[in-house]
Structure 1
Amino acid sequence: MLAGAIALVAAAGLTACGDDGGSAGSGSDGGQIELTIGTFTEFGYEDLLKEYEDLNPNIKITHHKTGQGGPYHQQLLTKLAANSGLEDVVAIEEGHLPDVLDKPHLFNNLADIGPSDVKPERWLDWKYEAGTAKDGTWVGYGTDIGPLAMCYRKDLLEAAGLPSDPEAVKPLFESWESYFEAGDTYVEKTGKAWFDSTSQIFNAMQNQLDVGYVDEDNKLTLESNQDIRDNWDQVTAAGNRGQTAKLVAFSPEWNNGFKQGAFATKTCPSWMLGVVKEQAGPENAGKWAVTDAFPGGGGNWGGSFLAVPKQSQHPKEAAELAAWLTAPEQQIKAFQKTGNFPSQVDALEEPQLLDFTNDYFGNVKVGTLFAAQAQKVEKAQFKGPGDGKIQENATSPALQAVEKGKSPEDGWEQAVEAAKRIAG
């Protein structure tokens, strides 16, 4: 991955950071310490938190889990502003991380309070750098990353006379041009949608650019970056040709769309595998497949960090928990449960990861597949403050408006105006 980082330099081995489980709570008075951790959607931590409590009898953990990332991060920023109510350990998604890095004084520097054997070399270079504020504060330990692949329904492609084998489909997904061309064929043959929503496709395209919605000077890029507009025009045109199922991601209708075969392809960062399996259900096992081809060569969509706010009453113990959860062994376990792909250098060489197969997707070696996709990412996209809000509250609603009949041009103006309000 990555900017030379996946030259896979040797990091501190898999035994680093509290792997013996005995360090948490050290230096306390020996009484039980209560820690809280806040996450959203699926981090795969439920069993791991119980394991940590077993390893550290003086630690009691309460897990606050929110269903969707948008409301979670809005609450997080509200609690930060009020300087009250935050958990000891908080998860932060990469799209919302800039809003946190802009306030490093509200977080503990993990370089100061974290276990001494947890070094930046544990992570891919760009993942570590993404969690560090401009003033040098190490705000967040990296959890997962989201290397992109393509998921698709084999039976639906076959019904349209398209190839369905994971190798044979690669030409369809070689570029965005070939992807949308295949979509036209699919729509013509079946009369059904090729993908779930224009906003999901647009988000994947956007995440392939070097700079997100806000640049390093905190300036909005929608009007200045022609690539964003070109992506907009391309995806809305495909949508208007019948390729979109017009579903809002993570809505009940979208969830049901997996079961009903409402669309044939799905942009699949690694964490999406768990979503597909859960929503499509056991009745569709073996119908879904995943290939390491992706239009434009790949990219990263998603991934999070664990941070310790200054509000924590037990910052040292909180940092020890966060460090343990983001150790390679634990992140591999989380991947095996949810598909969240590890960001730790050592994890990417582990047979436990590389040999891991997913029976729901035809017993493909998803560990090896996503490790290869990860290596196509050269650096993290720069995201300025408000990036995640722009995606959720500007471009996605505007694309949904286009799906409901608004012209692509008017939709673009809606997105730009909403983004301006968010960016201030």
Structure 2
Amino acid sequence: MPHHPLRRVPALLCVALLAATTACGTGDGADAATADIELSVATFNEFGYEDLLKQYQDTHPHVRIVHRKTGKADDHHQALFTRMAAGSGLADVEAVEEGWIAQVMAKADQFNDLSKIGPSDVTAERWLQWKSDSASTKDGELIGYGTDIGPMAMCYRRDLFDAAGLPSDPEAVGDLFSSWEKYFAAGDKFVENSGGKAWFDSASQVFNAMVNQNKVGYYDLDDKLVVETNPAVKADWDQVTAAVRNGQSANLVAFSNEWNTAFKTGAFATKTCPSWMLGVIEAQAGPENEDKWAVTAAFPGGAGNWGGSFLTVPKQSKHPKEAAELAAWLTAPEQQIKAFTAKGAFPSQNEALLSPALLNQTNPYFGNAKVGALFAEQANKVPAAQHKGPGSGQIQDKVFSDALQAVEHGTKADEAWKQAVAEAEKVAK
């Protein structure tokens, strides 16, 4: 995730852009007067479920669905863990992003084993092995049904590349994105010739993509924090902060109002682009920028995965069997392909990754790019998901995001690094 993509904003969209969690019904297929049960579904950002929830309601008139949708993943998960601690307030189906799944797995006893309460024909084999492994306990309990994954590509503005004298065809840009060294070197050239435009949106967005490519991230396999001792993380930090120093960053906070507006005004030229980012770009850049954006499979450092989520059924649910049935239906290959079409949430199901319905998909907003085949190719390059420790999500989305924002606003990189290490250690305690 997420994870995680937007084609068109449906009339039924219920958006909570900040910390507040809002709820909305999903249509008139079932209402409080006629439905036998009510199921709540809590997601964040864009899962592509608006039309799907309405479809499920239309075909299950005894069910009324309430969709709680939060704008930011961090806000959603803060609310999730607060309600877990309180013992009340959780939705029947709770989405969990990969950066937070370790924290949920540490409290697996608060969630239903979907292999027992879910449909008997839905097993872990539905998903890529590394996806289902991430939500399985050592005892073989399946705590989450996989939704999407975030195979990485690069998105960029063709028109801004042309204006700065850089190649702009998706095939021709491959060399610019063949390594992080070449990516940042191209950024220096772009800044010199762009007339004030930035190369990328946010230091943390680039840094996150780089860290997620590493075999080991913020935690080792024993859930020991290794931020300070992992040379790969520090090397990524040094490269990104050097680029900030050279004026490549637009100094924006991802998912802020200013960041949203910057897509419309063309304030930056490139965007690290997990599959779910396509929908975000389209929604924020708007119809006036259609065909100015392009996407290419060339990605610095090779393959990577950033994001992707799971649907869980907390034991707080009063209707766990029905909730599991809904979660199983939403994460079936057919539905996840529709979610990709709607919002760019790339499927994690083995069957979906082989489906012509996915592989033949193009995206008119990005110059009719063959996005289905492109991201399937990128997904198949990922050997395994990076292990996420208990605080990985918070360290990524809060600790390093704040530290890199400080660098973007003038704090020395070495000073910000020391502060990030100290804050990460607080999270890990």
Normalising by structure 1, what TM-score?
0.92
Contact 1:393–1:418 (8 Å) recurs in 2: no
Which one of 308, 316, 331 corresponds to residue 311 of structure 1?
316
State the alpha-carbon separation in 2 of the partners of residues 237 and 135 from structure 1: 45
Give the match for residue 286 of structure 1. Answer: 291
Per the alignment, residue 128 of structure 1 pairs with 132
- Deviation of the 1:211 alpha carbon: 2.2
Give deviations 1:83-120, integer Å, cap 9, x for gaps: 10101110000011111010010000011101000011
* Counterparts of residues 191-202 of structure 1 (less than 5 Å): 191-202=196-207
SS in 2 for 1:295: coil
User: Does the 8 Å CA contact 1:147/1:373 hold for their aligned counterparts?
Assistant: yes
Match of 1:27 in 2: none
> Is the contact made by 2:217 and 2:233 (CA closer than 8 Å) also made in structure 1?
no
1:328 aligns with 2:333: yes
Cα separation, 2, equivalents of 1:31 and 1:193: 52
Q: 1:110 aligns with which of 111, 114, 119?
A: 114
After superposition, the C-alpha distances for 1:329-360 in whole angstroms (9 at most, x for unaligned) are: 00000000000000001111111111111100
Q: Tell me what 2:233 maps to.
A: 228
1:412 to 402, 411, 417: 417
TM superposition shift of 1:363: 0.5
Equivalent runs, 1:141-290 vs 2, <5 Å: 141-190=145-194, 191-290=196-295
When the two structures are aligned, how many residues end up with a matched partner?
A: 395
Q: Distance in 2 between matches of 1:43 and 1:392?
A: 19
Give the Cα separation in 2 of the matches to 1:220 and 1:235: 21
Partner of 1:242, secondary structure, is coil
Cα offsets for 1:27-76 (capped at 9, x unmatched): xxx97121111111111111111111111111111111111111110000
What amino acid does structure 2 have at the position aligned with 1:244?
S
SS of residue in 1 equivalent to 2:198: coil
What is the letter of the counterpart of residue 170 of structure 1? G
SS at match of 1:215: coil
| Contact preservation (8 Å) 1:151, 1:267 | yes
Give the secondary structure class of the aligned counterpart of 2:83.
helix
8 Å CA contact 2:124–2:142 kept in 1: the answer is no
2:344 to 339, 346, 369: 339
List aligned pairs for 1:46-57, cutoff 5 A.
Answer: 46-57=50-61
1:204–1:267: 8 Å Cα contact kept in structure 2? yes
Report the 3-state secondary structure (helix = DSSP H, G, I; strand = E; otherwise coil) of the residue aligned with 2:209.
helix
Q: C-alpha separation between the residues in 1 aligned to 2:81 and 2:250?
A: 33
Q: Which amino acid is the alignment partner of residue 74 of structure 2?
A: G
Paired letter, 1:292: A
Gaps of 5+ in 1: 1-29
The separation in 1 between residues aligned to 2:144 and 2:220, in whole angstroms, is: 21
Contact (CA 8 Å) 1:192, 1:242: kept in 2 or not? no
Contact 2:35–2:61, Cα closer than 8 Å, also in 1: no
Whole-Å separation in 2 of the counterparts to 1:307 and 1:134: 17
Which residue number in structure 2 is paired with residue 9 of structure 1? none
For 2:119 and 2:197, the matched residues in 1 are separated by: 54
2:16 paired residue number: none
* TM-superposition CA deviations, 1:178-226 (whole Å, max 9, x none): 1001001101112421000111000000100122212222211111100
1:101 paired to 2:101: no
Q: Give the AA of the match of 1:365.
A: K
Secondary structure (helix, strand or coil) at the match of 2:393 reads helix
* TM-score of the pair, normalised by structure 2: 0.91
CA distance in 2 between partners of 1:103 and 1:72 (Å): 17
Counting aligned pairs with the same residue, the percent is 64
CA distance in 2, matches of 1:352, 1:335: 11
Distance in 1 of aligned mates of 2:355 and 2:222: 39
Q: Secondary structure at the match of 1:415?
A: helix
Question: Does the C-alpha gap of structure 1 residues 31 and 392 become closer, same or farther in structure 2, counting only changes over 3 Å?
Answer: closer
215-224 vs 257-266, which deviates more? 215-224
| Root-mean-square deviation over aligned CA pairs | 1.1
Q: Find the residue that maps to 2:369 and give its secondary structure.
A: coil
* Equivalent position amino acid for 1:338 in 2: K
Matches of 1:124 and 1:255, distance apart in 2 = 33
CA apart distance, 1:234: 0.7
CA distance in 1, matches of 2:35, 2:265: 53
Structure 1 residue matching 2:205: 3-state secondary structure? helix
Query: Counterpart amino acid of 1:276?
Result: I
1:217-239 superposed Cα distances (whole Å, 9 cap, x missing partner): 22111111001001100110011
- Structure 1 residue aligned with 2:71: 67
